[in-house]
Amino acid sequence: MYDLSNKAFLITGSTRGIGNAIARALAMAGATVGIHGRTPEKVKMACDQLSETGKRTVPVPGDFSEPEVAADTVRAFYKATGRLDGLINNAGIGKALSFRGMTLNKWRNTFSTNLEAAMIASREAYVIMREKGCGGIVNIASLAAHGPGKWMGADYAASKAGLVSITQSLAFEAAKFGIRVNAISPGMVETDMTSMLPEETKKSINIPLGRFAKPGEIADAVLFLLSDDSAYITGQVLHIDGGLWM
């Protein structure tokens, strides 16, 4: 449906789950994809799996608990490919935790990975894209960004709300340089994180469409937001939640 040949995209947090589905979808559309994760071993494994399909991958490991590493990751990908057509900020951490159990260290750790690393990666990508006069950034936020962190902690919800705010701030500034910035707020998605939920809990969430999203359904939306079909869309947050936000 989309032809992204001769383009290069970096997807953070792409060794599994939503990020890996995004990397696969972009690769199948002809793009060169940057695979990022904390450990070189998992990054190599994800690259090897995609390389078996004949697609070009670039390994860029880095631990985003140290946010400045995100800048090195973007620069390493750009150096390896010679271009950067898009950045997908998907790397994130989260664990259900009651507010009374929240500590400042836990709060800061979540913000370092989910928000600060995304900000720094976006800044580096923005600098590169400005010179070219085009490009796209898609931030993977969460339904939790738009209300209470019902299924995740307050730290997770607040960090994702910050990511939505960054999306709109950068979109406003970058538009005059031909750079579009959007976000996706997924609801419940079939990933390793949600696989641990009991079936009773899943049913009690009462998703109008009656099921969790597949990672590929999030990836399809990312493809759209990075394609020319969305050339007039920026600063938007797309809810992909099966109607849960209603």
Ramachandran angles phi, psi of 230, nearest 5°: -110, 30
- Among 2, 78, 126, 156, which one carries the catalytic annotation? 156
Strands 179-186 and 237-240: parallel
Instruction: Read off the tokens for 50.
Output: 């995609």
Tokens, residue 158:
């607040």
Which amino acid does the sequence have at 167? Answer: T
- Cα separation, 102 vs 113, in Å, equals 17
Q: How far apart are CA 30 and CA 89, in angstroms?
A: 20
Based on the residue annotation, tell me whether 78 is a catalytic residue of this protein.
Answer: no
- Using alpha carbons only, give the angle 7, 26, 129 rounded to the nearest 5 degrees: 40
Distance CA 216, CA 38 (A): 22
From CA 65, how far away is CA 89, in angstroms rounded? Answer: 14
Rounded to whole angstroms, the Cα distance separating 50 from 46 reads: 7
Phi-psi region of 160 (alpha: psi -120 to 50; beta: other; left: phi over 0): alpha
CA-to-CA separations, 127 to 84, 132, 219, in angstroms, rounded: 11, 9, 25
CB 15 within 8 A of CB 61: no
User: Could you list the active site residues?
Assistant: 156
